[in-house]
Chains A and B, each alone.
Chain A
Amino acid sequence: MATGPVSETDPAPAAAAADGDDVLLRADNLVKYFPIKGTGLFREKEYVHAVDGVSLSIRRGQTFGIVGETGCGKSTLARCVARLHDVTSGRIVFDGQDITKLSQRAMRPLRREIQMIFQDPIGSLNPRRRVGSIIGDPFAIHKLAAGSERKRRVQELMERVGLNPEHFNRFPAEFSGGQRQRIGVARALAFQPKLIICDEPVSALDVSVQAQVINLLADLQTDFGLTYIFIAHDLSVVRHVSNSIGVMYLGKVTEVAPAEELFTVPRHPYTGALLSAVPVPNPELSDQRQQIILAGDVPSPVAPPSGCRFHPRCPKAAPVCVAEDPPLEPRLGDGPEHPAACHLPMAEGENLAEFRPSISEKERVVEVEGSLLPEGAEPEHIADALPARGEGGTP
């Protein structure tokens, strides 16, 4: 399965040319493979297929959410878009300019316009530097505003994100988690960027503080017309902040849809399963709903499954899913803003739990098949495994 990087002369879809003015960022068939060292001298080089042919376009002033499990390539995709990784193939168009092959030097002015906010507000701030100097970094790097002018602008930024400007000389350790995340936001805002990539910006925060940061990001978007790429594994947060959401699985985008539509009419069974697994903070709803529990783990991205990559875990999998990789296109009469990469998309209100895959046992299994205490797992069998209570525990 493991092939080398695909040819770099991949023709970009013709549609790319006909961009409206409102598309800020466009990715065409983006591919990023990471080589992993073969352990033997003659071993064929293998690649992690981190991002494998992703196309998407993000409109100005909107928030595009990306969801998916660990290792699905969502962070790699974001980093490729910001040119923090060089892409293996494909094309990135930012604000009408092809930035795929720009040199580091040519990228530099663009770096002001594409900023990132990271997950870990502790790890992304140098503990030995004062906050004023950390937020002032962009001014230093781009040789804009020095001395008292820089201090003034930094304090403006601090005030804008809800930090006390008098805390200019404090160290990151003197701030709480939420405030540290605000420092990260202030730093990203320095040059009024066009695009901010938020990689799990609120995952490390407590709910009450998380809401403060989400509201701040929303205010800044309104005030400065920012565009966000918002990556998070908490689906209710992504739903709240995003205009549209892309779902990723093993390096591929499986579905894109306007936020509400994704949650109400998911087409891809993976989306359906993912949504059903989210714990609902409402006992009434959580009692009613039916959870689809996917068996096993995500297969290795070194040798992804053939056809639709979700087929080994999909309750609807059919032979066609093993043979053919479904294109990302609108299904079942959906509009162009809601494409899904599935041969057998879910109809509205369909219950995934009623389906059983119609492919052979072997194809269903990709190294792991973990069946989790199937309904009605024989208690006698379980009893064999465990001692009766009181029997154990007396040394």
Chain B
Amino acid sequence: MALLEVEDLRVSFNTPDGVVQAVRGVSYDIEAGKTLGIVGESGSGKSVSTQTIMGLTKGAQVTGRAVFEGQDLLTASPDQMRAIRGAKIGMIFQDPLSSLHPYYTVGWQIVEMIRLHDDMSKDQAMKRAVELLRLVGIPQPDRRVNDYPHQFSGGMRQRAMIAMAMALNPAVLIADEPTTALDVTVQAQVLRVIRRMQEVFGTAVILITHDLGVVADVADDVLVMYGGKVLERADRRTLFFASHHPYTEGLLQSMPSYGGERGRLRPIPGQPPSLLAPPPGCPFAPRCVYVMDKCAEMPSLDPVGSGDLGHLSACWLPHNEADREAVRRRVAHVELAKSAGPAGA
């Protein structure tokens, strides 16, 4: 049984410009010990969807269900949420400097967090904080525990955030762009800490990122979001080698391929959509090369292929590999004719 199950989550915000429909019907589930990667560009709704589950989107209109341990998080009382947030579902944010309080020592902040949920003395909590910092690779943790956040480097702050998020051994860890602000070398360190924690404790991790490389490295399953919707869900191998949705295909093609041929990149033309009054139908249609009349209607997220691999895609393109290849070839032909004419934009 899934540890966390999100069903048809919809989130919208009232803004001076109108209602922004940030998340428009997102469903997923995650099991213990697994890592679910959520990829998408800015404005795809990937962060909002998880923040809503944690009750961190004040003033939003939310519908849907998010069931964790038999309890719907979206209808839980503030008191119930307080007991879950941090203790059972931990969070790591992108920017570790603004998530740590500059006036208090790192140790104090971890202790506060532990004592809020667990009944233990300050000394005991401090001891645990030191152990946690040691665990995430902070050198001389007994000394550094008394440092202020500004005395830590970026990577150390992020590791301190992980220590804090892991302090109560949560069942689910939501990591929202945990390594985006870090150098690749430090990113590798941080990802490794998360992975080791997961191996030891069987934590379920939801990893939100825009970096497909990180996803290829650590995710078991991947959710591709765009315009507030899930367009594709697959295990990482299927996603990278046999994706179905044209948006996923476009994302993969626009990356400078590692070890691949040089030459021109193939970007997705156009811009991500505005979520103020988005038109009905597939949000990717305006940028899609395979667009057809049917796309004015949003396709449902349906299984692709034969096996029960959990590969889902929301696209009208044939689900059968051979038929899809035929469509691809036809479109590639048209594209070629177009580019042979006047140089494309």
Task: Point out residues on A near B: beta carbons under 8 Å.
Answer: 69-70, 162, 176-179, 206-212, 214-215, 218, 233, 235-237, 239-241, 263, 273-274, 276-286, 291, 293-294, 296-297, 368-373, 377, 379, 382-389, 391-395
Contact A278-B184, Cβ < 8 Å, known A377-B196, A379-B200: yes
How far is A393 from B184 in the complex, measured between Cα atoms in Å? 34
Q: Which of B131, B236, B265 contacts A211 (CB 8 A)?
A: B265
A residues within 8 A CB of B241? 283-284
**Count of chain A to chain B residue pairs whose CB atoms are closer than 8 Å in the complex:** 193
The segment from B56-64, B209-217, B290-298, B300-308 found at the interface with A is: B209-217
B88 at the interface (CB under 8 A from A): yes
B residues within 8 A CB of A388? 169
Report the minimal beta-carbon distance from A182 to chain B, rounded to whole angstroms.
Answer: 12
Q: Which of A179, A211, A394 contacts B254 (CB 8 A)?
A: A211
| Residues of chain B in range 129-174 having any CB-CB distance to chain A below 8 Å | 131-132, 134-139, 153-156, 166-169, 171
Q: Is the CB of A371 within 8 A of B251?
A: no
Report the minimal beta-carbon distance from B131 to chain A, rounded to whole angstroms.
Answer: 3
Q: Which of B188, B212, B255 contacts A291 (CB 8 A)?
A: B188
Q: Is the CB of B183 within 8 A of A69?
A: yes
Nearest residue in B to A236 (C-beta to C-beta)? B256
Nearest residue in A to B237 (C-beta to C-beta)? A283
Q: Is the CB of B84 within 8 A of A373?
A: no
Q: Which of B131, B137, B184, B191 contacts A274 (CB 8 A)?
A: B184
Q: Is the CB of A277 within 8 A of B131?
A: no
How far is A379 from B42 in the complex, measured between Cα atoms in Å? 38
Q: Is the CB of B265 within 8 A of A279?
A: no
Q: Is the CB of A279 within 8 A of B214?
A: yes
Given contacts A282-B258, A286-B217, 9 further A-B contacts (CB under 8 A): A69-B185, A70-B183, A207-B41, A211-B254, A277-B184, A281-B258, A293-B189, A369-B139, A393-B87
Q: Is the CB of A368 within 8 A of B139?
A: yes
How far is A332 from B83 in the complex, measured between Cα atoms in Å? 61
How far is A279 from B258 in the complex, measured between Cα atoms in Å? 10
A residues within 8 A CB of B116? 395
B186 at the interface (CB under 8 A from A): yes
Proximity bits, B294-322, A CB within 8 Å = 1, else 0: 00000000000000000000000000000
Q: Is the CB of B266 within 8 A of A392?
A: no
B264 at the interface (CB under 8 A from A): yes
Q: Is the CB of A206 within 8 A of B192?
A: no
The segment from B18-26, B98-106, B267-275, B332-340 found at the interface with A is: B267-275
10 nearest interchain CB pairs? A279-B213, A393-B87, A211-B267, A240-B256, A385-B131, A372-B137, A206-B41, A211-B254, A208-B268, A211-B265
Report the minimal beta-carbon distance from B256 to chain A, rounded to whole angstroms.
Answer: 3
Proximity bits, B62-90, A CB within 8 Å = 1, else 0: 00000000000000000000111001100
Report the minimal beta-carbon distance from A279 to chain B, rounded to whole angstroms.
Answer: 3
Q: Is the CB of A239 within 8 A of B256?
A: yes
How far is A273 from B186 in the complex, measured between Cα atoms in Å? 11
Contact A395-B83, Cβ < 8 Å, known A281-B240, A387-B118: yes
Most buried by B among A239, A296, A392: A392
Nearest residue in A to B188 (C-beta to C-beta)? A277
Q: Which of B156, B169, B251 contacts A208 (CB 8 A)?
A: B251
B328 at the interface (CB under 8 A from A): no
Q: Is the CB of B154 within 8 A of A208?
A: no
Report the minimal beta-carbon distance from B253 to chain A, rounded to whole angstroms.
Answer: 8
Q: Is the CB of B189 within 8 A of A372?
A: yes
Write 24 A-B pairs (CB below 8 A) sorted by A numbering: A69-B183, A177-B42, A208-B250, A215-B267, A274-B184, A278-B184, A278-B213, A278-B258, A279-B188, A279-B213, A280-B258, A281-B216, A282-B258, A283-B216, A291-B188, A293-B188, A297-B155, A385-B128, A385-B131, A386-B168, A389-B169, A391-B118, A392-B87, A395-B117
